[in-house]
Structure 1
Amino acid sequence: MMLDLAGGFGEKGRTSVVVRSGNNRILLDVGIKVGATGAEYYPALDGSIADIDALFVSHAHEDHVGALSWLLSRGYAGRIFMTAETRAEAPATLAGYADPGDLKRFPFPEDRIEIFEPGEMLKSGNLTVRTGRSGHVVGGVWFAVDDGKSRVVYSADVVPDSNVFVMDAIPECDLLVLDASYGADPVPGAARAEAISGWVARHSNGCLLPTPLSGRSLELIAALPGPFAIHAGMRASLEAQIAATSALLPGVSEMLRLRLRSAADWTDVDPLPSLPLLADDGMGEAGPSSRLLPRADRAGFPVLLTGHLPSGSPGDLLHKAGRADWVRMPTHPTLSGNVDIWEKAGRPETLGHSCASELLDDLKAHIPSLRPQCRTGQTITVPQGKNI
């Protein structure tokens, strides 16, 4: 079995991996890289697109599905697998991040999507693809791919210690492609959530919290210390996420449902509220927050950013100018979570995705089998047989 690293290695964004075994080829995720231009915005797939048999999408965030219209525009005709939640959310992601020309000619292919449930076993040629809940978003999954000789696990984005979502245990494998987004950050999610709660409590008379529509929004709602508002366009999606009880920890769905029911709806024509306000997306690149960030800046309205800020993004520029604060809300593994995943997977050879090279070097001190030198564009051979 071979892996072509098509995006997300030595970099954050355009996460994409091709798995090859014999004549079978599948693609795991097809993301874009926010802040990049030209070819670097898309996965490094070159002329191989027509040979891919199936695409498996882990979830609907832009760095995992944002290049779908681009892929279709370049002749992809294979199968497309995703969960129902990912299918529901992906069109909005493409509207925000796909090239408008590609999206017009190749809109979201609703009729081609093959739906699966997290936990299902899927097949493509001689490859068996096991899935499990990721703990990152409702409907988000990891993939374990077997060809009868070896097994590779691609974690996509996972959260082992989420306060909201369930993550299924990753199986033993011969090669682990790990979510290394935070490098060796040792600060646990509970401590970050407490810091965010304290910041919001100090700005409870009005502040803006840009957030992705799925995933982190529920983590923030759970962490907020008092009354809050949401952009009205988020409500239907948040209600659907909260209703997906199998993706949530016991008791969390009812708590979130009650919190959301009491939240005020806010629209673009309203004055800035005297409450903490959640609005998507998290970087200010798309959605309501692309309009709200400059408005908040002009008004001196406090802003708290809680996730990845690509260089040059509106959120990044505001933060660098000292006009927005930043506290990470972990929606990826911190150090203890990644070490635990690696140990339970059998301490296999490991690659880290979605992480700058210098942070991978830090992580290697804790995961000795990590290969921090691997980069987008390289091909990797999967070791055979130890854990199959």
Structure 2
Amino acid sequence: MKINLYGGFGEKGRLGVGISTTATKLLFDIGIKVGATGRDYYPLIEVDAIAALDAVLISHAHEDHVGGLLWLLEQGFQGRILMTAETLAETGQTLKNYAEQRHLENVAFPQERIELFKAGDMLTIGDAEIMTGRSGHVAGGVWFCVEAEGHKVLYSGDVVPDSPVLEMDAFPVCDLLLLDASYGADAVSGDTRAQQIREWILQNRDGCLLPTPLSGRSLELMALMPVNFAIHADMRAALAEQIAASGALRDGVAGRLKQFLHNAQGWREDQALPRCPLLTFDAMGRAGPSAYAMTRALRTGWPVLLTGHVPEDTPAFDMLRDELADWIRLPTHPTLSGMVSLWEQAGKPDMLGHSCSAALLRELAEHIPVVRQDVKSGDMIELGEA
């Protein structure tokens, strides 16, 4: 079995993992790298490898996991495309925000080719058996465990083992774990960060902006809100679908979020800024309503709180650099205790950390010694005979 690290290793963004047997070639995720340009925007998979793929499986609809789908099709991909219904519902908006304009204009979204599955389904593609489970990161988000040729390889996509909102399924024991290591060895708990965000919101309760991804973190922010809030009007339907997603939320959470969403004030760009906290998408101010809202916040001196990854060459990065925005991480990836727990759950296998820098991996290896630090995007690993 071969594992190709096409993107997301030693870096944040452009996730792409190839898992191949002698008979079957699979690609897990096809993301883009925010802030990059040209060929660096996409995973390092070449045209001949793309043509040989049997299928691409998408873990969820964030840009670093699905933003390169139209590019993949332009490069000649003819295989199967598999994702959950929730991921499909959000992929169009992600591509609108992050696909290159020439792809949006010239590459038709292949709706008729999409094959839907549910988290928890067992998939069979060629000689590979693929277990799936809920990721805890977004509604409809999944991890994948591939069993073939006597090996089990688990690719986690983005996961959150201790989300107070979204459920995550336990990992099976595997031989190699490709784990979401976005935060490196950050040991600050989600509860602590959530309380810090609540306090910031209370200090700015008469008006502030919280840019957020349309899926995942938006629900987490809604759940911790200590005061009434507003959302961009175009978020309402998508948030309602996420809340209604079967089995996605922890027990008792859906009813509370439905009420929060019902009470949330709607806002559009032609209206005055609301006198309460406002959620808009996307999280980086590069696309969607946040691109306008962050500019308006700058003009008016409105407080802005960033709560996630802030890539270079984005409006969010510029504001943070110039001390025009605050930053408190709301964990939507595993913190240190969560990563250690997931690694132990998987049987303490060999491990690769994705979605983080080499420096963060070095820190993580002090706590999980088997984390490999000698690999990067573009590398290939071959598992020996069972």
* Aligned positions of 1:172-211 closer than 5 A: 172-211=173-212
- Aligned equivalent of 2:273: 272
TM-superposed CA distance for 1:384, in Å, is: 5.3
Query: Which position in structure 2 is the counterpart of 1:2?
Result: 2
Q: Give aligned-pair identity as a percent.
A: 54
- 1:376, 1:142 → 2: CA distance? 20
Task: Write the deviation string for residues 87-110 of structure 1: whole angstroms up to 9, x where unpaired.
Answer: 110000000000111122213211
Secondary structure of 2:64's aligned partner: helix
Give the AA of the match of 1:356.
Answer: S
The one-letter amino acid of 2:245's match is A
One-letter amino acid of the structure 2 residue matched with residue 121 of structure 1: M
Q: Counterpart of 1:287 in structure 2: which amino acid? A: G
C-alpha distance after superposition, 1:31-89 (max 9, x if no partner): 00000011110010012110000000000000000000000001000000000000110
Residues 228-239 of structure 1 mapped to structure 2, 5 A cutoff:
228-239=229-240
RMSD, matched Cα: 0.8
Find the counterpart in structure 2 of residue 116 from structure 1.
117
Determine if the alignment matches structure 1 residue 85 to structure 2 residue 86: yes
**Residue 368 of structure 2: aligned partner:** 367
Is the 2:21–2:149 contact (alpha carbons within 8 Å) kept by the matching residues of 1? Answer: no
Alpha-carbon offset, residue 23 of structure 1: 2.7
Q: Find the aligned partners of 1:245 and 1:38 in 2 and give their Cα distance.
A: 39
Q: 2:79 and 2:294 mapped to 1: Cα distance?
A: 39
Q: TM-score, normalised by structure 1?
A: 0.98
Mapping of residues 1-388 of structure 1, within 5 Å: 1-47=1-47, 48-382=49-383, 385=386
**1:71 partner letter:** L
- Cα deviation 1:269-303 (Å, max 9, x = unaligned): 00111110000000111100011111100110000
2:383 and 2:121 map into 1 onto residues whose CA distance is: 23
CA distance in 1, matches of 2:383, 2:291: 42
Please give the alpha-carbon distance, in whole angstroms, between the structure 1 residues aligned to 2:334 and 2:10: 17
Write the distance in 2 (CA, Å) between the matches of 1:33 and 1:170. 27
Partner SS for 2:198: helix
Change (3 A) 1:167 1:211: same
What is the rounded CA distance, in whole Å, between the counterparts of 2:257 and 2:227 in structure 1? 13
Work out whether residues 30 and 65 of structure 2, in 8 Å CA contact, stay in contact via their aligned partners in 1: yes
On the 8 A contact 1:350/1:369 being kept in 2, the answer is yes
Structure 2, unaligned runs of 5 or more: none
- For 1:59 and 1:364, the matched residues in 2 are separated by 27
Aligned 8 A contact 1:10 1:355 in 2? yes
Q: Distance in 2 between matches of 1:345 and 1:111?
A: 36
User: Partners of 1:384 and 1:118 in 2: how far apart?
Assistant: 30
Paired with 2:101 and 2:338, the residues of 1 have a C-alpha distance of: 38
Q: 1:68 to 1:315 in 2, by over 3 A?
A: same
Offset, 1:373: 2.1
Contact 1:176 1:349 in 2 (8 A): yes
Deviation at 1:369, TM superposition (A): 0.7
1:17 partner letter: V
- Give the count of matched residue pairs: 385
SS of equivalent to 1:107: coil
CA contact (8 A) 1:4 1:18 kept: yes
Residues 30, 68 of structure 1: 8 Å contact kept: yes
- Which amino acid is 1:323 matched to? L
Amino acid aligned to 1:8: G
Compute the displacement of 1:262 (Å).
0.6
Contact 1:150 1:383 in 2 (8 A): no
Deviation at 1:383, TM superposition (A): 5.3
User: Which ranges in structure 1 are unaligned for 5 or more consecutive residues?
Assistant: none
